[in-house]
Structure 1
Amino acid sequence: MNDSPSRLDLLLFARRVVEQQALTSLAQLDRWIDEERRRDAERRHAEEREQQRPEWLVQYGLNRRNVESVHMGDCWAAAKSGRCRPVTREQAVDALRHQVPACTHCRRDTALGFPD
């Protein structure tokens, strides 16, 4: 009796190998697609946040009553404090007129026309 596989057996085996490789490749492509969709969603979310960012911020003290400083909306120091609220340009100017110091990092007083 001949123990070697027939030509048909070899072709069926090759088909199973190709099918398994194709499924693996499709699964990899699906992961790449999902990752790219996630990145696109993150980019869109970041763009939306950027568009919603206020132009001016005031930073409140720990008691949430005293105004500590005036910031530009994109100031990294304001983002770290977590105690900032958005204000209009007029409110920022008013705060500087009432001796509220400008942020030492973004120096928004010069942008608002308050020299050193």
Structure 2
Amino acid sequence: MQERDLSRTRRWIADEERCADGRRVGEARRRPAPEWLIERGLDRTNIVAVHMGECWELGKRVKPASREQAIDALRQQVPACTKCRPDTALGIEV
């Protein structure tokens, strides 16, 4: 009986290790999140907000942006996200 339990435990451990290996491979292949994001309005011409890449309060119309694009948008009075505060991270006073 104990050998059967031990065998089942070893299979369970092997399955868990395979799953963990798969997760590691998936994470390694994933593209890194952009550092900055620009959120556009419904008409896609106006910029609604600037976000940091890891912001949890993103809208649906965000596009990756360079550091220079984020700074330029903030200097043109585009609002900074009040949750992730990209203006603070970029050292820009709004």
TM over 0.5: yes
- Highest Rg: 1 or 2? 1
When normalised by structure 1's length, the TM-score is: 0.64
The residue that corresponds to 1:31 in the other structure is: 12
Say which of 45, 50, 55 aligns to 2:35: 55
1:85 matched to 2:63? The reply is yes
Question: What's the secondary structure of 1:70's corresponding residue?
Answer: strand
Deviation track 1:19-66 (CA, whole Å, cap 9, x = no partner) reads xx53453233112221232134324534654x6111111112244443
Distance in 2 of aligned mates of 1:64 and 1:22: 64
Question: What's the secondary structure of 2:57's corresponding residue?
Answer: helix
Change (3 A) 1:65 1:25: farther
Q: Which deviates further from its counterpart, 67-76 or 39-48?
A: 39-48
How many residue pairs get matched? 94
In structure 2, list runs of 5 or more residues that go unmatched: none
When normalised by structure 2's length, the TM-score is: 0.75
Instruction: Pick 1 or 2: higher relative contact order, CA cutoff 8 A, min separation 6.
Output: 2
Distance in 2 of aligned mates of 1:104 and 1:47: 31
In structure 1, list runs of 5 or more residues that go unmatched: 1-17
Q: Which amino acid in structure 2 is aligned with residue 68 of structure 1?
A: V
Q: Which has the higher helix share?
A: 1
